[in-house]
Copies of this chain bind each other. A is one copy, B any other.
Amino acid sequence: MTAVALPPSPRTRVRRVAELASYEQATVYAIVDAAFLCHIAFRDDKGSHCIPTACWRIDGHLYIHGSNGSRMLKQLVNDTDVCVTITHLDGLVLARSAFNHTMNYRSATVYGQFDKVSDIGQQHAAMDALMEKLAPGRLAQVRDGSAKEYAATTVLRIALDECAVKQRKGGPLDDAGDMAHVVWTGELPFTHGRGAAIADALNTSALPAYAAAWSTESA
């Protein structure tokens, strides 16, 4: 299979440590799909804002949602040049010299404009996809959204077209002149685990399969 490349634009071309950059669609999608939230940079008359919000992907778009009253959502559809970033931090990288210390991470940055998902069918499909991401199979079990709830909710999407990935993995890269310096070198990894499902105090139902399978911890 040929990898699909997203050609870098003037604002997605990584200049600093450019060998860590990637513009492959599959890499962008993998980073987005591994995330439950993104940070969105946008601007209004009070300055720049950096707001975290839940996100999910359908095909070539990243979706967000919120109340119709959200200041951010109202501003985003007017802003032609927002920036969305998702970052997974994977580890601290310990080198022989102080300044060669670094971190391992996977980061995707998306530029563009959000559009409102106005079609009711598309809005329902988008919200269904969010539920399917959070808890596969749960959609059939919950009380469905009412017409009033859908009407009070704005769904926005941004095309995953103008994207850049920057990521690093592996051990430290020391200067040749530092190799005789005696100090432990390696990586201190972060784990992205999931704990055992916690039933609510008011819960009266058996644990469903997706909740039983959630935990990554051994029993």
Query: What residues make up the interface of A, taking CB atoms closer than 8 Å to B?
Result: 10-11, 15-16, 36-37, 39-43, 46-52, 54, 67, 69-71, 79-85, 87, 89, 91-92, 94-99, 101, 103, 105, 107, 109, 111, 127, 131, 134-135, 138-139, 141-146, 149, 153, 171-172, 174, 178-179, 181-208, 211, 214, 216-217
Contact B135 A92 (CB under 8 A): yes
Contact A98 B81 (CB under 8 A): no
Name the CB-closest residue of B to A69: B16
Q: Which residues of B contact A146 (CB under 8 A)?
A: 99
Closest beta carbon of chain B to A114's beta carbon, Å? 12
Closest beta carbon of chain B to A206's beta carbon, Å? 7
With A70-B16, A92-B36 as contacts: A144 and B46 at CB distance below 8 Å: no
> How far, in angstroms, from A201 to B67 measured CA to CA in the complex?
51
> How far, in angstroms, from A127 to B98 measured CA to CA in the complex?
9
With A16-B67, A98-B142, A103-B37 as contacts: A194 and B191 at CB distance below 8 Å: yes
Our pick among B10, B84, B98, B216 for the contact of A143 (Cβ within 8 Å) is B98
Contact B187 A198 (CB under 8 A): yes
> How far, in angstroms, from A190 to B195 measured CA to CA in the complex?
6
With A131-B101, A194-B188 as contacts: A171 and B94 at CB distance below 8 Å: no
Closest beta carbon of chain B to A177's beta carbon, Å? 9
Name the CB-closest residue of B to A81: B47
Contact A191 B193 (CB under 8 A): yes
Of A141, A142, A206, chain B has the most CB atoms within 10 Å of the CB of A142
> How far, in angstroms, from A16 to B68 measured CA to CA in the complex?
11
> How far, in angstroms, from A68 to B172 measured CA to CA in the complex?
21
> How far, in angstroms, from A49 to B60 measured CA to CA in the complex?
21
Contact B190 A194 (CB under 8 A): yes
Contact B46 A98 (CB under 8 A): no
Name the CB-closest residue of B to A70: B16
Q: Which residues of B contact A138 (CB under 8 A)?
A: 94, 183
Q: Which residues of B contact A143 (CB under 8 A)?
A: 96-98, 178, 181, 183
Contact B171 A201 (CB under 8 A): yes
> Shortest 6 CB-CB distances between A and B: which pairs?
A47-B81, A41-B41, A41-B50, A171-B200, A97-B143, A189-B195
